[in-house]
Amino acid sequence: MALSPGVAETVELAVGDWIITARAYHAGAATAAAAGWAALTVSAGESVAERITLAPGDGAGTFAYTVAVPGGLSAGALTLTRAGLDGADAAVDGGTRTLTAGVNAGTIELPGGYYLLTIRLAKGGLSAGRTELIHLYPGLTTEAAGPDYVFTDDDLAVAPEPPAPPTTEPPTTEPPATEPPAGTPATGGLSITVGLSLAHELTLSGYGGPIVLSGTGANSAVTLSAEGYSAVAWYVDGEEIGAGDGSITLNAADYDARPHSLTFRGVREGVPYAKLLPFTVTAALPADLPEAEPDPEAEPETGTPYALAITVGAGASQAELAAAIGAAVAALPAAPGGTGPGPGEAWELRVSGLDLSGGLGALYAAAVAALPAGDIALDLGGCTGESIAYALSGSAEEQQAIRERFTALTLSASVATIGGGAKAGSAIKSALGGFSRLRQVSGGGVTAIGENGLRDCAALEGVSFPALESAGKEAFSGCGSLAAVDFPLATSIAGAAFSGCAALETGSFPQVVSFGSHAFTGCTALGSLVLGASPPTAPIFNGLVGQAITITVPPGRKAAYEAACTSTPWGGNVTVTFVEG
């Protein structure tokens, strides 16, 4: 039967067990662009509602681009890289194409899937660019052309904040096609809703690009509206600031002068959507506002004698960073003992201005060299850059000595990706892998964590990634102190993502549509999970023995989960109880 995306159809089926397969085709195309399936049981006299999310198929697609740029550029580049959703190989990419004055056109053939398209231009100290999530379909051509890809000198007048890529629901894995079994005349009914799992560009009234608020004047506030959505929630830096209303107003006076992240969540036609919007407050509160009187009875904050703040250039060298940190230390009042933080205390180092995309190796080394022995809590909220990656140098012993100084990390709202990397023996070449004494990590703008991204952070007790969409293979493997995780927007958790997290008791993944094998292997304390509408199709509990695990599922999905758990064993020897909530 023919179906339309987002349109519910009702069909009658024979009583029994069924596998429903749906495929979607672009107009005139013979190759399916996407497909999905669902397993269900039809009982006499009952109606079953089932949502099938379609995901891209296999094979190569073509990306065609036409980009016009002005003359006199000092740098111009177009990069196409795999988004790494649903365990896709993030190493697959289309490389970088140099952009020169005039019209640049070409094609790139790559495996179907989701990719990040990045265009960056620089001229005379100014910059411009574009970042977006694109989808290549097998056997089809995806084009990047038109007014959005024509850049002029006017676009280089201001260096904008990097825009966040649109959020997407990553693909689910389609099993081999199965023909429905023959049966008796149907007395049960099935309502099917097919949702095409493609990037959804949320349109907000009042949003025209990067948001920059100042402490005074006409730019001190902005109002954003999203029409046609239910169950709306707004978050700033991971904390909810409004619920149920399609509009929100941001006032500069309510926030520190630094980059922030605004996250929108809502439901439209039964499909959940989310969007991350970075915004920056560029000035402090107006000078004529009265300062708050200090509370004479308040106890001093722990670690205050060791709080440092430095502002550096985007490309500051290790020597410049060390000098700035050293100067900040010299300006501190005499600290108790005069030897640096003691047990339970830490240097609190806040850094502003640094471009994190250039790597954190120089900052790590500078901080360790400039600060006396003691833990370091690093706050990068005032920095820029879309990603952090592995950047340590020296011997394995020297690298680990640096890692072990850091106990807390706060990323700027601009950081969308914590880079992954390989593990060879004891060496982990990912952004934060092996930081064995790191206890807290937060990033309000992080949407993706790569393979081994936080692997073997043995002391890690808390993570805050409210905008996270995907976690790569073994992303949190070996984080033996992590007791709870809550990723409200995540849609893809790759294989062994939490393997070896022996203290993990609870996990909330209400939007996940794809779990990889061994996702919770070694999670010997696991007792409860919150999952979304799509049951896992992989052995996520391999290696677990004797545990009782309660899984909370959306209303109406208990039967589907029970069927999926039986037809596709989830591994291990555990007792699973499903509850709807």
Q: Give the whole-angstrom CA distance, residue 223 versus residue 405.
A: 42
| Contact criterion met (CB below 8 Å) for 559 and 535 | no
Distance of CA 286 to the CA centre of its chain: 35
Contact yes or no for 187/216 (Cβ under 8 A) = no
Angle 457-458-459 (CA atoms, 0-180°, nearest 5)? 95
Retrieve residue 183's tokens: 């049966």
Q: Above 80 in pLDDT, residue 379? A: yes
Lowest pLDDT segment from 24-38, 166-180, 250-264, 531-545: 166-180
Q: Residue 131 pLDDT more than 80?
A: no
Mean pLDDT, residues 115-142? 77
Q: In which order are the strands placed within the sheet that holds 8-13?
A: 8-13, 188-196, 47-56, 34-42, 16-24
**pLDDT for res 305:** 59
pLDDT in tens, 521-544: 999 999 999 999 889 988 999 888
Rg for the chain, CA atoms, rounded: 25
Q: Per mean pLDDT, which range of 251-260, 356-365, 469-478 is the poorest?
A: 251-260
Would you place residue 509 in the very low, low, confident or very high pLDDT band (cuts 50, 70, 90)? very high
More confident residue, 414 or 242: 414
The conformation of residue 161, written as its DSSP 8-state character, comes to P
Who has greater pLDDT, 53 or 40? Answer: 40
Q: How many CB atoms lie within 10 A of CB 338?
A: 7
Q: Which residue has the higher pLDDT, 203 or 160?
A: 203
Q: Which residue has the higher pLDDT, 325 or 208?
A: 325
Here the tokens at position 85 are: 């959703």
Phi, psi of 107, deg, nearest 5: -135, 150
Q: CB neighbours (10 Å) of residue 147?
A: 6
> Do 58-168 and 202-275 show the same overall fold?
yes
Mean of the per-residue pLDDT values of the chain: 76
For residue 284, how many other CB atoms are within 10 A of its CB? 14
Round to whole Å and give the CA distance between 558 and 526.
20
Q: What is the CATH number assigned to the segment(s) 58-168? A: 2.60.40
Q: CB–CB of 82/92 below 8 Å?
A: yes
Report the distance separating Cα 436 and Cα 430, nearest Å: 13
pLDDT at residue 266 greater than cutoff 60: yes
pTM above threshold 0.85: no
Looking at residue 410, its pLDDT comes to 92
26: its two tokens: 């672009």
Q: Could you give phi then psi for residue 403, rounded to 5 degrees?
A: -55, -40
Asked whether the predicted pLDDT for residue 184 surpasses 50, the reply is no
Q: Which residue has the higher pLDDT, 177 or 88?
A: 88
pLDDT at 171 over 70: no
Beta strands in 271-368 (DSSP E): 271-281, 307-311, 347-355
Calpha distance 275→262 (Å, rounded) = 8
CB 59 within 8 A of CB 105: no
Q: What is the largest CA-CA distance in the chain?
A: 86
- What is the model's pLDDT at position 111? 82
Residue 359 has pLDDT above 70, yes or no: yes
Q: Which comes out higher in pLDDT, residue 215 or 489?
A: 489
d(CA 106, CA 146): 14
Lowest mean pLDDT among 6-15, 187-196, 329-338: 187-196
Query: How many Å apart are CA 236 and CA 256, to the nearest integer?
Result: 12
- Residue 405 sits at φ, ψ, to 5 deg, of -85, -20
pLDDT at residue 452 tops 90: yes
What pLDDT, on a 0 to 100 scale, did the predictor assign at position 483?
92
How far is C-alpha 36 from the geometric centre of its chain's CA atoms? 24
Rounded Cα distance between 216 and 255, Å, is 13
Q: Could you tell me which residue, 305 or 96, shows the higher pLDDT?
A: 96
Whether the pLDDT of residue 1 is over 70: the answer is no
3-class state of residue 23 by DSSP = strand
User: Which residues lie across from 388 on neighbouring strands?
Assistant: 418
Rounded to whole angstroms, the Cα distance separating 456 from 522 reads 13
Q: Which two tokens stand for residue 314?
A: 């985007």
Amino acid at 558: K
* Better-scored residue on pLDDT, 473 or 426: 473
What pLDDT is stored for residue 300 in this prediction? Answer: 41
Q: CATH number of the domain at 202-275, please?
A: 2.60.40
Q: Which helix (H) or strand (E) holds 329?
A: helix 318-330
Of 3, 6, 5, 8, nearest to 189 by C-alpha is 8
- Banded model confidence at residue 167, pLDDT cuts 50, 70, 90: very low
- Label residue 325 exposed, middle or buried (CB < 10 Å: 0-12, 13-18, 19+): buried
Structure tokens at 31: 């190759």
The position carrying tokens 């007014």 is: 147
Q: Which of 109-113, 297-301, 314-318, 354-358 has the lowest mean pLDDT?
A: 297-301
Q: Which two tokens stand for residue 578?
A: 């499903």
* Predicted pLDDT at 471: 95
**Do residues 381 and 412 lie in contact, with contact meaning Cβ atoms separated by under 8 Å?**
yes
pLDDT at 298 over 70: no
- pLDDT value for 225: 80
Q: What pLDDT shows up at residue 485? A: 93
Task: Please give the pLDDT value at position 290.
Answer: 41
| Pair 122, 98: CB distance under 8 Å | no
| pLDDT value of residue 2 | 67
Return phi, psi of residue 367, to 5°: -65, -45
pLDDT band at 196 (very low <50, low <70, confident <90, very high): very low
Domain boundaries, the chain: 8-57+171-196, 58-168, 202-275
